[in-house]
Chain A
Amino acid sequence: MMNLHNLPPSAILIFGALLLPLMPKQLRNLWCVVLPAAAFVWVWQVPLGHEFAISFLDFQLELVRVDRLSKAFGYIFTLNATIGLIYAFYVKRWAHHAAALIYIGSSLGVVFAGDLITLYFYWEAMAVFSTFLILFRGLEGSKKAYGAALRYVLVHVAGGLLLVMGLCICYQKNGGDLTFSAELFKDPHLGSWLVLVGFLVNAAAWPLSAWLPDAYPEATVTGGVILSAYTSKTAVYTLLRGFPGYEILIPLGCIMAMYGIIYALLENDMRRILAYSIVNQVGFMVVAAGIGSEWAINGAVAHAFCHIIYKALLWMSAGAVLYMTGKSRCTDLGGLYRYMPWTMVFGTIGALAISAVPGTSGFTSKSLTIHAAEQAHLFWPWLVLEVASAGVFLHAGIKFPYFVFFAKVKDWTLEKADIGEPPWCMRIGMALMAFLCIFLGVYPEPMYAILPYQDVFQTDPYQVFTAGHLVSQFQLLMFSGLVFFLMLPMLRRTNTIAIDTDWLYRRIVPMFYRFTDWSLNGINRWTAALVVDRLIPRLNHFFARGPYRVWVRVNMPFARLNRSMGEVEEFSARRFFYRQAMLGILPIGVTAFLAVVGLLILFFA
């Protein structure tokens, strides 16, 4: 019997997705939930240390490599996919599901890839198939989504190019071995920097971050839920695997954490607020990768695990609101608590979890990263992470639910008569995620048990639930909440957007385009006028008529010798020779003589 563990989990999802159009319509959506669930079982069953490679050309492609790190990400990716596709059960179009499944399958491929060539193939597949999740909204009629999808795929193709350039250099330096491990990038050289930048593009590291808040909020309702989990978290995985202890990641992550907060505070679109808070949260994980200690890696994995759950929950509740109201701007929303109470409860649980309120999964996961910064005696990163923790409560913990569900009393039935809770599948998806947020918040042991480094839990008995930690966390959060309501007038929403680094390629590059259009096409027109319209005809004239003139010049002295000529005779003689040359009726002797002269020139030259 074939060993099922050699079947990569990516293959389950990708080939399963390709079967979708062949299935009866009633079974398709069920099949979409079964596939990631099957992949989850695969991750659960596969033994640690399992490897499976195939030969392709001259390369050994390691399709499956299982260790604790890849397994932890495998668990959360498949779990989130299962619940995400339950949420998406109402979507009738199979192509939406197929794109999502192939995208998720590719991200699993990245996580379980043992070498960088395999990883690269999956990496590009992720970029391509995730684009469809945005593009489908464009097909539903959103012109903005169409533009955002184009920018999204261009940024990722550029990132992929950097990655492949770096891989080529690493391949040369390393004597043809591209096994993906921290060893490969131990000595920083151009190749490892290029690979790092390629990974950081997907991690939405500032200033390469603008694609995320540009594209995700334009995705379909379910596309946003799926997108929020995979691209940035596979990038976090690659950083943890390949670049732990790269110190540049610490300040970079700190910038991301603060940048996410500031922009989320400026934003008006609820899904864009959530997109910026992804950058903020991934900042924590990037800092942890930069610290690189065993606690930090554990913290980053735990944080990624919980983040995927509560961020999916937040995107689900925002998606439900968008689906029911068709609106996504805070200025258009508010007062929905009366019409969508369950969505409000679930969304608020997600908001509390992302804010790391004790009793939710954010508290049990984010604390590990902050603890790692303390252990490493990194004062500034620690301070920034604490400040960012307070800021998360501000922008995602309170601002999102406040402006969407509360803020004002509004009679929504005037705008939409059938306003109410979203379809049952959405409510089930949100309920499952909300359950996980609280379950992991009060009983984090199952999650801690799958973290990569288990020894540190023995050597450094760190307790999350100490009285001191609870007190400090509640102080931090409650006073953040106090500031929010004290400064509420300053936070009033306006119908504006905030320009981000994508301004460079949305404004400066078009300017550059127009400049090159003006300058290069200007040169073109000028050259055309000068060379094509004037110089070429003249040259043409010169070369066409030149030989005739030579003929006239050669013959005229002989004609003058024969008889003396007046002006009129001279002119008619010239005409005669000119016409003779033009019509090609030359006396043979002359032609032969000229040919001999020509050959002699060629011979001596």
Chain B
Amino acid sequence: MSEETREQETVATPPAAPKHGGFDPGLIRKLWIALGVACALPVIAELFVDRHHGHGEHFPVDWGFGFYAVLGFLACAGSILLAKGLGLFLKKNEDYYDHDEPS
């Protein structure tokens, strides 16, 4: 909780920043739909494509349908969580090193 409030204070935008960064909520909704379609298309396309055909070696872990979608999702979610976790230790205020600079 204290971490959360500290972040609130340090964010440059005023605390009462408009939702969606001030963008039109209708536009945001449309963008979400577009993103959903963009995610669905390559998955649907895989139904008609044999990924393993003529594309070099494959590792046993690649089970086939939707593997890369799952891989992308897990890899990124994992990276963000790892970064967030490490951030607790690694993030410091910007003036952390300031007194070390030569004057």
Contact = CB atoms under 8 A, between A and B. Distances in A.
Interface in A381-419: 382-383, 386-387, 390-391, 393-394, 406-410
Main secondary structure of the interface of B (DSSP, over half): helix
A377 B69 contact: no
Contacts of A377: 57
A60 interface: no
Interface in B81-103: 82-84, 86-87, 90-94, 96-97, 100-103
A261 interface: yes
Nearest to B76: A483
B101 A144 contact: yes
A491 B87 CA distance: 11
B18 to A, nearest CB: 8
A483 B87 CA distance: 19
A409 B21 contact: yes
Interface stretch (A162-170, A307-315, A465-473): A465-473
B101 A147 contact: yes
B63 interface: no
A144 B96 CA distance: 12
A475 B72 contact: yes
B6 to A, nearest CB: 8
Contacts of A499: 90, 92, 96
A408 B91 contact: no
Contact of A491 (B11, B80, B94): B80
Contacts of B73: 479-480, 482-483
B71 A386 contact: yes
A262 B102 contact: no
A147 B46 CA distance: 53
Interface centre among A262, A379, A507 (most CB of B within 10 A): A262
A409 B68 contact: no
Contacts of A334: 21
Nearest to A411: B22
Interface in B43-78: 43, 45-46, 49-59, 61, 66-73, 75-78
A473 B42 CA distance: 9
A479 B39 contact: yes
Contacts of A479: 39, 68-70, 72-73, 76
Nearest to B21: A408
Interface string A6-41: 000000000000000000000000000000000000
Contacts of B84: 490
Nearest to B93: A496
A205 interface: no
Contact of B101 (A146, A394, A463): A146
A157 B5 CA distance: 44
Given A146-B101, A463-B54, A476 B71 contact: yes
B92 A475 contact: no
A494 B10 contact: yes
Contacts of B70: 479
Interface string B1-31: 0000001001111000110011100000000
A143 B70 CA distance: 46
B77 to A, nearest CB: 5
Contacts of A383: 59, 61
Contacts of B51: 468-469, 471-472
B76 A394 contact: yes
A480 B92 contact: no
A498 B90 contact: yes
Interface centre among B32, B39, B79, B87 (most CB of A within 10 A): B79
B55 A466 contact: yes
A29 B20 CA distance: 44
A503 B78 CA distance: 25
B75 to A, nearest CB: 4
B61 to A, nearest CB: 7
A498 B91 contact: yes
Contact of A466 (B54, B86, B94): B54
A515 B34 CA distance: 60
A478 B38 contact: yes
Contacts of B55: 463, 466, 468-469
Given A266-B83, A468-B49, A493-B11, A506 B97 contact: yes
Contact of B75 (A480, A485, A495): A480
Contact of B68 (A472, A494, A506): A472
Nearest to B53: A468
A261 B46 contact: no
Contacts of A482: 35, 39, 73
A386 to B, nearest CB: 6
A371 interface: yes
A477 interface: yes
A391 B79 contact: yes
A439 interface: no
A263 B84 CA distance: 10
A466 B52 CA distance: 10
Given A495-B12, A498-B92, A484 B21 contact: no
Interface centre among B17, B41, B69 (most CB of A within 10 A): B69
Contacts of B86: 262, 266, 498
B80 A483 contact: yes
B94 A496 contact: yes
B68 A473 contact: yes
18 contacts: A144-B101, A146-B102, A335-B22, A382-B59, A387-B75, A390-B75, A408-B22, A408-B23, A468-B51, A475-B46, A476-B72, A478-B42, A479-B73, A481-B35, A484-B76, A494-B11, A499-B90, A500-B90
Given A329-B12, A390-B71, A480-B72, 7 more contacts: A375-B56, A393-B76, A394-B76, A468-B49, A482-B39, A483-B72, A491-B80
**Lowest 7 CB-CB distances: which A-B pairs, in order?**
A408-B21, A409-B22, A468-B51, A474-B42, A479-B72, A483-B76, A265-B83
